[in-house]
Amino acid sequence: MQISFNFVKSISTLYEEMTTNGFSLVYLGEFRHDITKMFTAMAETDMEIKSEEKSVQRKVYHVMVETLQNMNKHSDVITNNKNGNGLFVIGKKEQTYYIITTNKVAANNVEQLENAIKEVNSASKEELKVMYKKQMKEGSISAKGGAGLGLIDIKRKIGEPLNYQFLLLDDGNYLFILKVEINAKKIITK
């Protein structure tokens, strides 16, 4: 059976994009606990095979879990099983791991999310510690089951700004893109 030229060209282009950008894992779909567990296990195995330092493995693992939990709990596209929907990418280029997540966010939630990210990005290490403790003490659990700690915790772990963007999808929704970079060289030299 002959495969169509357009299909082969699409797969070839996808393969080229993934290898050029260092993508090692890409997933589009529903996010559940078992899927999160599978991704983290696959990433851990990949880092062990590549003899990555344990300190780097722990940071990458931690950020993966936080970003996947955020997608599961905070996506504005929830499936019948009450799980979030979105795109997850992990890759490494040179000495930097990156984790990219995308999910749909309702237009009325964009300002609050963007303000939270800006606050986290502008906070010093000490301010993040205070924010984290305050949220642990006083933070309320949202309707989706989160306490608002994820972004704070990610920034505390990596010490770098969270890169993000909102792309308009339609009148009521945006595509939220979050990119977290983890510089392995910086972690090892600390």
Tell me whether residue 77 is exposed, middle or buried, using C-beta atoms within 10 angstroms of its C-beta: 0 to 12, 13 to 18, 19 or more: middle
Q: What is the mean pLDDT of residues 33-60?
A: 88
138, HSE (Cβ side, Cα atoms, 13 Å): 5
Mean pLDDT of the chain: 84
Full-model pTM = 0.83
> Can you give the pLDDT at residue 4?
79
Tell me whether residue 131 is exposed, middle or buried, using C-beta atoms within 10 angstroms of its C-beta: 0 to 12, 13 to 18, 19 or more: buried
pLDDT surpasses 80 at 3: no
Q: What is the mean pLDDT of residues 98-116?
A: 89
Q: Cα 124–129–135 angle (5° rounding)? A: 120
> Can you give the pLDDT at residue 142?
47
Q: What is the mean pLDDT of residues 152-165?
A: 91
Counting every residue written for the chain, the total comes to: 190
Pairing label, strands 96-106, 163-170: unpaired
Q: What is the mean pLDDT of residues 60-66?
A: 90
User: Which domains, ranges and CATH numbers included, belong to the chain?
Assistant: 23-189 (3.30.565.10)
More confidently predicted of 77 and 57:
57
Output phi, psi for 170, to 5 deg.
-160, -170
Collapsing DSSP to helix, strand or coil, 1 comes out as: coil
Collapsing DSSP to helix, strand or coil, 77 comes out as: coil
pLDDT surpasses 70 at 143: no
> Can you give the pLDDT at residue 81?
53
Give the separation between CA 163 and CA 177, rounded to whole angstroms.
8
